[in-house]
Amino acid sequence: MMSATGSSNIFWHECPVGKVDRQKLLNQQGCVVWITGLSGSGKSTLACSLDRELHSKGKLSYILDGDNVRHGLNKNLGFKPEDRTENIRRVGEVAKLFADAGLICIASLISPYRDDRDACRAMLQDPNFVEVFMNMPLEVCEGRDPKGLYKLARAGKIKGFTGIDDPYEPPLNCEIEIKQKDGVCPAPSEMAVQVVSYLDQKGFLQA
C-alpha cells in the first residue's frame, strides 16, 4: 500500500511483545476515554479526577489534554478548521499508541467536529473508544469562563471560538453523557465515578 508520503517502501515491523502481554502485566485493557465538550464544560476537571480515581485503583492512565498538547506536539497548529482537524487527528494517533501500550488514555479536547471525533473512533477498535460528552449548557460554561476566553470572544477579540462563532457538534451516540441534574452539575468525583463504573462494567479494569 502507498503511504501518505507517496512511498511504497514503508513496512510495518512486528514486535515480539504484544498488546495482550502488556495488558496482562498491567491487569487492565488499553483504551481511549475521549472527553468532548465546550470550553469550560469541565473536560480537564473530569480528566484529572478520573486519572486520580484510576490511579487509586492501581490502574495506569495518562491524560492528553488539548491545552497541554498545543504547547508541544501541536504547537504549530491554530484554530482554523483544518488545524482543528489535524490537532484531533494527531491526538487520536497518539491516544491509539497509548491504548496499544495498554494504558487507559484520557483525551480531553473540545474536539468540536463530529467527523474528526468519528475518525478517531474509527482508528481504534470499537469498544476501545469511549466517548464522553460534557453536556453543559453554554450559559454555564460562559458563566464559569475561568480563562476569560468567552469574554474575549464576545468582544470579537478571539475569532472562531467554539460555541460563539464556531460550531460545536454534539455526539449522536456517545457512550457516556455528563449533564446537570436539577440544574446542578455533578461534583468532579461523581463524574469520575460515572466513567469508572462504565469502564469496570465493560471489563476494562482487568486483563
Ligand X SMILES: Nc1ncnc2c1ncn2[C@@H]1O[C@H](COP(=O)(O)OP(=O)(O)O)[C@@H](O)[C@H]1O
Partner whose footprint covers residue 156, from Mg ion, ligand X, none (CB < 5 to 8 Å by kind): none
Nearer Cβ to Mg ion, position 23 or 44? 44
Residue 71 cell numbers, joined: 504547547
Interface region with ligand X, contact rule CB under 6 A, candidates 23-31, 52-60, 169-177, 187-195 = 187-195
User: Is residue 117 within the footprint of ligand X (CB under 6 A)?
Assistant: no
* 189 a catalytic residue: no
Residues 49, 111, 189, 197: which is the catalytic one? 111
DSSP string, 71-111: TTTTTT--SSHHHHHHHHHHHHHHHHHHHHTT-EEEEE---
One residue of 30, 40, 112, 171 binding ligand X per CB under 6 A: 40
Q: Which of 30, 37, 102, 163 binds ligand X (CB under 6 A)?
A: 37
Q: What does the binding site for Mg ion look like in residue numbers (CB under 5 A)?
A: 43-44
Q: Looking at 42-50, 92-100, 159-167, 193-201, which segment touches ligand X (CB under 6 A)?
A: 42-50
Q: Are 70 and 88 in contact (CB under 8 A)?
A: no
Q: What is the dihedral of CA 187, 112, 122, 77, to 10 degrees?
A: -110
Q: Name the 3-class secondary structure at 66.
A: helix
> Which residues neighbour 93 within 8 Å (Cβ) at sequence distance 6 or greater?
123
Burial label for 197, CB within 10 Å (0-12, 13-18, 19+), is exposed
Residue 41 contact among ligand X, Mg ion, none, beta carbon within 5 to 8 Å by kind? ligand X
Residue 47: CB minimum distance to Mg ion, A: 8
Q: Counting contacts by CB under 6 A, is residue 30 touching ligand X?
A: no
Binding positions for ligand X, 134-153, rule CB under 6 A: 144, 146
CA angle 122, 127, 130 (to 5 degrees): 80
Q: Does 44 bind ligand X (CB under 6 A)?
A: yes
Q: How far is the CB of 66 from ligand X (least distance, A)?
A: 8
Q: Please give the single-letter amino acid code of residue 108.
A: S
Q: Which residues are catalytic?
A: 111
